[in-house]
Amino acid sequence: MAKKEYQKPTGTQDIYGKKQRYFEKIEKVSWEVSQEYNFERIQTPIIEEKELFERSVGDQTDIVQKEMYVFETKGGDKLALRPEGTASIVRSYIENDFYKKPQPVKFFYFGPFFRYERPQKGRYRQFHQFGLEVLGKNSPALDSQLIQVFYQIFKRLDLEVVAKVNSLGDDNCRPDYIKDLKKALKKDKDDLCEHCQKRYNDNPLRILDCKNETCKEIVQNAPQMVDNLCKSCKKKFQSVLEYLDEMDIPYELDPFLVRGLDYYTNTVFEFFAEDGELALGGGGRYDKLVELMGGRETPALGGAVGVERVAEFMEENEIELDDRSKKVFLAQLGSSAKKKAFEIFEDFREAGIPVYESMGRDSLKAQMSRADKLGAKYTLILGKQECIKDQIIIREMKTGKQETVPLENIVEEIKKRI
């Protein structure tokens, strides 16, 4: 086949057909459950100042160093396509003085994100996330409740997932832990992968979740953050786990879970399909971020789920979609029938029974074959004769059985049958 002149950019997708319907379902269910937990929907721009992400996500992270789409506008502004959602929500919280609202403020978002990554299964350059952020109140119960909301969304989508959780401590205990970690890894430093040798200085925590087999083996014996938490972080983490137990949420402790962004403190979590390798979503607490971004001290937490990955997981599990296929096809022949068909189409639409219409000049045979391909159960046939007599034919597609009924009763007749 000849190469088409234009193709979509690498790592992007056209979303249509079944995939589009999975997307719609994920958006509907995630928003529905979030509303039940009193989240408010927010939309922030897809473009933001580049520096917003450098400062919040961290300039040593893969996202900022390698994956961000940045560009300069004609006016000289340095902007980035958003690689994640939290930074924008924090910016918005500060910019709009949301601290004046009753706390915590709870936001839901859904939309596209952009990362220049190597495309592979479940990894795209334009992907979608829905996310939740809770700002302005500090309590371990909120950490567990956030995990609970995500869990309930997966549940309503009929997906079985496990949450992995860990604590990254805070400014009080993490620096000492990092020192211990580096000390323990020092003797094996040369055996770490190239990437982790660099991380050893820039971002040593990330060595813990490196997927390289040698690195994985080396960190097995390294000290773990959970064993080195200060008293207050330990207490917080214990409370989070107790709440999770109480809510019957399936979780596993994962001392190697660190997440790829710099801003996390204390609780971090990720959701996986059972035996799944790729995370479906994740998040955590980021108590220092609002202050770092120029706001007042504000405890906060959040998380996001990848819509493509969830849609693929649903498809693999053959999760059913609502059957929205239309059951009725309206065929017409001749110009007077066509005019009438417009009216009948509207009558059906107003009665809440959408029908496939055929307003062209195709032969009856061509129209019937289209009805068949679309999977219609009934075809309504309106020809010249029927128009004169104010009648219409109902054809049951499977059996070929036809019946002529008065036109004025047609909506009622079809209602009875579907």
Binding site for ligand AMP (CB under 6 A): 84, 115, 117, 122-124, 127, 129, 260, 279-282, 304-306, 308-309
Residue 147 contacts residue 244 (beta carbons within 8 Å)? yes
Q: From the CB of 123, what's the least distance to ligand AMP, in Å?
A: 4
User: How far is it, in rounded angstroms, from Cα 179 to Cα 166?
Assistant: 19
CB of 333 to ligand AMP, least distance (A): 49
Count Cα atoms within 13 angstroms, Cβ side, for 5.
0
Q: Could you tell me the smallest distance in angstroms from the CB atom of residue 256 to ligand AMP? A: 15
Output the smallest distance, CB 263 to ligand AMP, in A.
Answer: 11
- Which DSSP letter does residue 120 get? B
Counting beta carbons within 10 angstroms of the beta carbon of residue 61, is it exposed (0 to 12), middle (13 to 18) or buried (19 or more)?
A: buried
Q: From the CB of 283, what's the least distance to ligand AMP, in Å?
A: 7
C-beta of 114 vs 243, nearer to ligand AMP = 114
> Between 185 and 306, whose beta carbon lies closer to ligand AMP?
306
Q: In the complex with ligand AMP, which residue's Cβ is closer, 204 or 306?
A: 306
**Whole-angstrom distance, CA of residue 378 vs CA of residue 372:** 9
Which letter, b or e, does each residue of 218-236 get, where b requires 16 or more Cβ atoms within 10 Å of its Cβ? bbeebebbbebbbeebbeb
How many beta carbons lie within 10 A of that of residue 102, not counting itself? 7
Burial 295-334 (b: 16+ CB within 10 A, else e): beebbbbbbbbbbbbbbbbbeeeeeeeeeeebbbbbbbbb
Which lies closer to ligand AMP via its Cβ, residue 192 or residue 279? Answer: 279
State the Cα–Cα distance between residues 61 and 83, nearest whole angstrom: 12
- Closer to ligand AMP by CB, 119 or 360: give it: 119
Smallest gap, in angstroms, from Cβ of residue 406 to ligand AMP?
Answer: 55
Nearer to ligand AMP, 255 or 260 (CB): 260
- Please, what is the minimum distance in Å from the beta carbon of residue 14 to ligand AMP? 16
Alpha helices in 43-171 (DSSP H): 50-57, 62, 86-95, 140-156
Q: Which residue is nearest to ligand AMP (CB)?
A: 306
Name residue 70's beta-bridge partners. Answer: 80
Q: Which is nearer to ligand AMP, 140 or 303 (CB)?
A: 303
